[in-house]
Amino acid sequence: MAVKININPFIAYALKRFGIMMLTFSVALFLIFILPRMIPGNPLASTIFRLTQGGITSPEQLKATERMLLETFKLYEPLHIQFVDFISKLIHGDLGTSILFYPLSVADLIALYLPWTLLLMIPAVSLSWFIGNYIGVVAAMNRNKFVDKVVLTIFMILQGVPPYVLGMYLILLLAVYMPIFPTGGGWPPGMVPRLSVEFVLAYLKHYILPFLSIFISSLGGWGLSMRSIAVQELASDYMEYTIRGVGLSQKKVVNYLFKCSALPQIVGLAIVLGWSVAGSVLTEIVFGYPGIGMIFWRAINAQDYPLIQGIFIIIIATLLLANYISELLFAYIDPRARYAYVGVQ
């Protein structure tokens, strides 16, 4: 009759998903490794060629760059040796040295810029998760009424507007025509990041617009998916019985509804947070916000391949990890899913 949850199937599931994650990561690493080397005209070789032809002024720097590029990519070695070298360096946390920001290492650059990206994305995404989901539940409770229709329309439009487009309009409106906020950057030029009231205030002023553009544009997605989940939940036998059969109070019903519907959304949140780095690239570009996205953009425009490669690896690693965590989280949090994985009665 009653079943005690046995932990073993959960671990089996965790291991299986871990295997798939590692397989995917290997495939991604392989792609990151092989693509620049396979594409006709070898872009790496041509970059090195371009560099040796000029572009970098001091001969000393040129030599160093050339040596470093060869060191990073080892193009003179056979492919399989290159691959082994690539992997062993990666395991030691060596992502090479940036061309653009020479002599900074890629790992250092990422450590320097990643916090700013996270500082932007985590609060914006989390807040929009809460508010979007809450509005979604309220819309579902009032489904097909006026409130619901208004919310649906607004959310649908929001969903169609990418954060960077919204960002462009926010700049036009609130920085150019009504110069309340600065048009871009992370802090005023000349200021150095440190923990002082002056800096924090200046930073916040630069922070608000990119924050808003990510916050507002993610509202729609959360709200719409939450609404449809909650509407399905409302039609379920148990919500029907809870509301009309035993007559639970409205407040508790919203609570229950949120609890039942939010579980899949928590997984979504984990995934989107994992997306932070990838998802903020365009917004950072539009706002000139000094995060990973910004240096990624500069790396691409300067064809700084070690940096491009390093950021790719970081993005994919965080994504896969977030995805893995969210899968486990889902299996662990949702008693229904946990039950499904356990699979016995």
Partner 1 sequence: MNSLAIGEIMSILDVRNFRAYYFTKAGTVKAVDGVNLSIDKKTIIGIVGESGCGKSTLAKALSFNVEPPLKIVKGDIVIDGIKINDMTTDEIRRKILGIKVALIPQSAMNALVPTVKIRSFIKDVLKEKTGYTTLEIFELAVKRFKELNLPIEALDMYPFELSGGMRQRVLIAIATLLNPSLLIADEPTSALDVSTQKMVLETLYDIYRRGLVKSIIFISHDIATVRQIVDEIVVMYAGKFVEKGSTEEMINEPLHPYSKGLIFSILTPELIVRERVRKAKEVLLKGEPPSLINPPSGCRFHPRCPYAMDICRREEPPMIEVERNRFVSCWLYVKR
Partner 2 sequence: MISSISSTIIRLFRIKKFAIGLLILLVVLFIGIVGPAIYEVSPTRTIGRRYVPPGEKYPLGTDALGRDVLAQFLHGIRGSLYVGAIASAISLSLAIFLGTIAAVFGGLVDKIVMTLSEILLLIPSILLMMLLAAYLPERSLWIVAVVIGITSWAGWCRGFRSRTLSILSSEFINLAILSGASRLNIIIRDIVPIIAPYVLAAFAMLFSYSIMAEVGLTLVGVGMTKDVTLGLMLYVAQIYANISQGIWWTIVPPSITVTLIFLSLYMIATSIDELFSYR
Residues that bind partner 1 (CB under 8 A): 1-3, 5, 236-242, 244-249, 252, 256, 259-260, 263, 334-336, 339, 345
Among 11, 12, 15, 31, binds partner 2 (CB under 8 A): 31
* Residue 264 binds to partner 2 (criterion: CB under 8 A): no
* Residue 281 binds to partner 2 (criterion: CB under 8 A): yes
Region of 60-68, 174-182, 186-194, 249-257 interacting with partner 2 (CB under 8 A):
174-182
How far from each other are the two terminal CA atoms of the chain, in whole angstroms?
A: 8
Q: Which residue has the tokens 């073993």?
A: 8
Region of 37-45, 66-74, 109-117, 236-244 interacting with partner 2 (CB under 8 A):
37-45
Considering only residues 66 to 125 of the shown chain, the ones binding partner 2 according to CB under 8 A are none
**Burial per residue of 184-201, b for 16 or more beta-carbon CB atoms within 10 angstroms, e otherwise:** bbbbeeeeeeeeeeeeee
CA distances from 129 to 122, 125, 132, 342 (A): 10, 6, 5, 29
Q: Report the SS3 class of residue 40.
A: coil
Query: Which residues 6+ apart lie within 8 Å of 138 measured at CB?
Result: 147, 151, 254
Minimal distance in Å, beta carbon 4 to partner 1?
A: 8
CA distances from 261 to 93, 123, 160, 212 (A): 40, 22, 23, 26
Region of 76-84, 194-202, 319-327, 335-343 interacting with partner 2 (CB under 8 A):
319-327
* Residue 265 binds to partner 2 (criterion: CB under 8 A): no
122 binds, among partner 2, partner 1, none (CB under 5 to 8 A by kind): none
Q: At what angle do helices 106-141 and 197-234 cross, to 10 degrees?
A: 40
Q: Which residue has the tokens 């509804």?
A: 257
Q: Report the SS3 class of residue 6.
A: coil
Question: What proportions of the chain, in percent to the nearest 5, are helix, strand and coil?
Answer: 75, 0, 20
Name the residue among 219, 338, 333 with its Cα closest to residue 266. 333
Minimal distance in Å, beta carbon 244 to partner 1?
A: 5
Which residue lies nearer to partner 2 by CB, 126 or 159? Answer: 159
Amino acid identity, position 293: G
* Residue 141 binds to partner 2 (criterion: CB under 8 A): no
∠ CA(222), CA(326), CA(264), 5° rounding?
40
* Residue 30 binds to partner 2 (criterion: CB under 8 A): no
CA distance 140 to 226: 8
Among 11, 156, 201, 235, binds partner 2 (CB under 8 A): 156
Which residue lies nearer to partner 2 by CB, 208 or 248? Answer: 208
Considering only residues 177 to 236 of the shown chain, the ones binding partner 2 according to CB under 8 A are 177, 183-184
* Residue 27 binds to partner 2 (criterion: CB under 8 A): yes
Minimal distance in Å, beta carbon 261 to partner 1?
A: 10
* Residue 176 binds to partner 2 (criterion: CB under 8 A): yes
27 binds, among partner 2, partner 1, none (CB under 5 to 8 A by kind): partner 2
Minimal distance in Å, beta carbon 335 to partner 2?
A: 26
CA distances from 72 to 86, 95, 125, 215, 322 (A): 8, 8, 36, 39, 28
Residues in touch with partner 2 (CB under 8 A): 20-21, 23-24, 27-28, 31-32, 35-36, 39, 41, 43, 46, 156-157, 159-162, 164-165, 168-169, 171-172, 175-177, 183-184, 275, 278, 281-282, 285-286, 296-297, 300-301, 308, 312, 315-316, 319-320, 323
